[in-house]
C-alpha cells in the first residue's frame, strides 16, 4: 500500500469514530451519485455557515466539472499529503492541522487520486469579504502544476479508502468515543472488525438532504447495509482475530448507534447562506 499522511481531528466524534474503525472512507466510495454523502470538509462549511469559502469552492468545482472531470472533486474527496514534510506547511493553515492529529495511512486498493499543489488554494487572491477576486489560476491547480516561487505542498485528493496505521492515535480516538457514546462501543467494535473484513458497516457519513423546497438538512448516518448481507455476516461469524469482548457485551443483544443529531443542521432558503448553496446544489450537482 502507498503510504500517505493526513490530519485526523479525533476531537470530532464522527472523525474519531472513523479513525478507531481503522479505515477512512471518502464520501463517494461505495455509493453511487446522486445517492452519496458529502465530505467532512463540506459538512463543516455548512455547519459553520462559511458562505465565502463555500462560494469559492463551488467556483473551483464548476471549473473541474467543465474541464477536468477526471480529477477528484474537492467537495467529496479526502485530503491527504504525499510527504510527511507537508505537515510543516499545513500547520500554518490552523484549524485541525496540528501535530496531535498527524497520522500515517495507507491507500487501499481501488483508491483514485488527484495530486495538486495546495499553495494555489493557500495563496488564492481574496477580497476583503474572503471571496475570490480571480479564478484565472484554477486551471493550473487542476492541472497539477506547481505554484510559482514556493516549494510545492503536494496534497492528494482521494476517492476511496485509506487504512490508519499505528495505535496511539486510534487509542485517543477510542477515548473520545467512549466518553461521548459509552453505550455505542459494541457497534464500534463490530465496525472495527467489519473494516478488517472489507466492509463499511459501522462507518458514519454526513448527508445533505433536501427536506423540502424551503429547507436543506445536514444529517449523519451509520452505515448498516451489510447487516443484511448473509455473506458478510458469515465472514463476521468466522472472524477469529482480536476482539474487545467487554465492548461487544455492552447492551446485551441490542446495539446502540450514536445519536448524531446534535452534529446536524437545518438551512432555510430565507437565509442568505442557504440561497447561495441552493444555487450551488443545482449548478454543481452536489
pLDDT at residue 41, rounded to an integer: 85
Please give the average per-residue pLDDT across 28-46, as a whole number. Answer: 80
Evaluate whether residue 162 is within a structural domain: yes
Evaluate whether residue 119 is within a structural domain: yes
- DSSP lists the bridge partners of residue 266 as 217
Q: Which backbone phi and psi does 22 adopt, to 5 degrees?
A: 100, -5
Q: What is the pLDDT of residues 114-140, one digit of tens each?
A: 999 999 999 999 999 999 999 999 999
- Pairing relationship of beta strands 112-117 and 154-159 according to DSSP bridges: antiparallel
Evaluate whether residue 34 is within a structural domain: yes
- DSSP lists the bridge partners of residue 212 as 215
Closest listed residue to residue 110, CA positions, set 28, 191, 20: 28
Closest listed residue to residue 40, CA positions, set 173, 190, 205, 209: 205
Evaluate whether residue 286 is within a structural domain: no
Are the C-beta atoms of residues 275 and 215 closer than 8 Å to each other?
Answer: no
Q: What is the sign of the dihedral through the CA atoms of 175, 12, 160 and 117?
A: negative
What residue numbers bound the domain in which 62 lies?
3-281
Closest listed residue to residue 158, CA positions, set 108, 215, 86, 219: 108
Task: Tell me the Ramachandran region of residue 285: left when phi exceeds 0, alpha when psi lies from -120 to 50, beta otherwise.
Answer: left
DSSP-assigned states of every residue in 74-130: TTTSEEEESSTTHHHHHGGG-TT--GGGEEEEEEPTT-EEEEEETHHHHT--B-TTS
pLDDT at residue 271, rounded to an integer: 56
pLDDT at residue 285, rounded to an integer: 45
Q: What is the pLDDT of residues 175-209, one digit of tens each?
A: 999 999 999 999 999 999 999 999 999 999 998 88
C-alpha to C-alpha distance for 123 and 114, rounded to whole angstroms: 20
Cis ω on the peptide bond leading into residue 235 (within 30° of 0)? Answer: no
Please give the average per-residue pLDDT across 40-59, as a whole number. Answer: 86
Q: What is the pLDDT of residues 134-179, one digit of tens each?
A: 999 999 999 999 999 999 999 999 999 999 999 999 999 999 999 9
Q: How far is CA 7 from CA 24, 128, 229, in A?
A: 12, 29, 33
Is 256 exposed, middle or buried (CB count within 10 Å of its CB: 0-12, 13-18, 19+)? middle
Evaluate whether residue 69 is within a structural domain: yes
Evaluate whether residue 264 is within a structural domain: yes
pLDDT at residue 274, rounded to an integer: 42
Q: pTM above 0.85?
A: yes
**pLDDT band, very low/low/confident/very high, at 34 (cuts 50, 70, 90):** low
Number of domains in the chain: 1
Evaluate whether residue 48 is within a structural domain: yes
pLDDT at residue 270, rounded to an integer: 59
pLDDT at residue 99, rounded to an integer: 82
Q: What is the pLDDT of residues 79-111, one digit of tens each?
A: 999 888 887 777 777 667 888 899 999 999 999
Evaluate whether residue 158 is within a structural domain: yes
Q: What is the pLDDT of residues 234-281, one digit of tens each?
A: 999 999 999 999 999 998 888 888 988 888 888 775 554 444 444 444
C-alpha to C-alpha distance for 64 and 67, rounded to whole angstroms: 5
Amino acid at each position: 500500500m502507498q503510504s500517505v499522511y493526513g490530519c485526523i481531528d479525533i476531537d470530532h466524534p464522527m472523525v474519531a469514530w472513523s479513525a478507531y474503525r481503522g479505515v477512512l472512507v471518502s464520501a463517494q466510495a461505495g455509493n453511487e451519485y446522486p445517492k452519496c454523502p458529502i465530505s467532512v470538509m463540506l459538512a463543516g462549511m455548512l455547519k459553520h455557515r462559511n458562505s465565502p469559502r463555500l462560494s469559492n469552492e463551488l467556483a473551483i468545482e464548476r471549473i473541474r466539472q467543465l474541464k477536468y472531470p477526471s480529477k477528484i472533486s474537492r467537495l467529496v474527496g479526502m485530503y491527504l499529503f504525499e510527504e510527511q514534510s507537508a505537515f510543516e506547511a499545513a500547520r500554518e493553515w490552523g484549524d485541525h492541522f496540528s501535530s496531535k492529529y498527524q497520522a500515517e495511512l495507507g491507500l487501499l486498493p481501488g483508491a483514485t487520486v488527484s495530486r495538486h499543489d495546495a499553495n494555489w488554494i493557500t495563496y488564492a487572491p481574496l477580497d476583503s469579504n474572503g471571496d475570490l477576486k480571480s479564478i484565472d489560476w484554477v486551471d493550473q491547480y487542476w492541472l497539477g502544476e506547481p505554484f510559482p516561487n514556493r516549494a510545492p505542498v503536494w496534497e492528494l485528493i482521494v476517492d476511496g479508502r485509506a487504512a490508519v496505521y499505528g495505535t496511539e492515535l486510534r487509542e485517543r480516538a477510542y477515548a473520545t468515543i467512549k466518553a461521548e457514546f459509552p453505550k455505542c462501543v459494541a457497534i464500534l467494535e463490530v465496525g472495527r472488525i467489519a473494516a478488517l473484513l472489507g466492509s463499511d458497516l459501522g462507518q458514519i457519513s454526513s448527508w445533505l438532504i433536501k427536506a423540502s423546497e424551503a429547507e436543506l438538512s445536514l444529517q449523519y448516518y451509520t452505515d448498516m447495509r451489510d447487516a443484511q448481507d448473509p455473506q458478510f455476516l458469515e465472514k463476521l461469524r468466522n472472524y477469529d482475530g482480536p476482539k474487545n469482548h467487554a465492548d461487544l457485551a455492552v447492551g446485551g443483544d441490542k446495539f446502540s448507534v450514536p445519536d448524531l443529531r446534535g452534529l446536524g443542521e437545518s438551512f432555510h432558503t430565507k437565509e442568505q447562506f442557504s440561497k447561495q448553496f441552493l444555487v450551488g446544489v443545482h449548478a454543481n450537482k452536489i
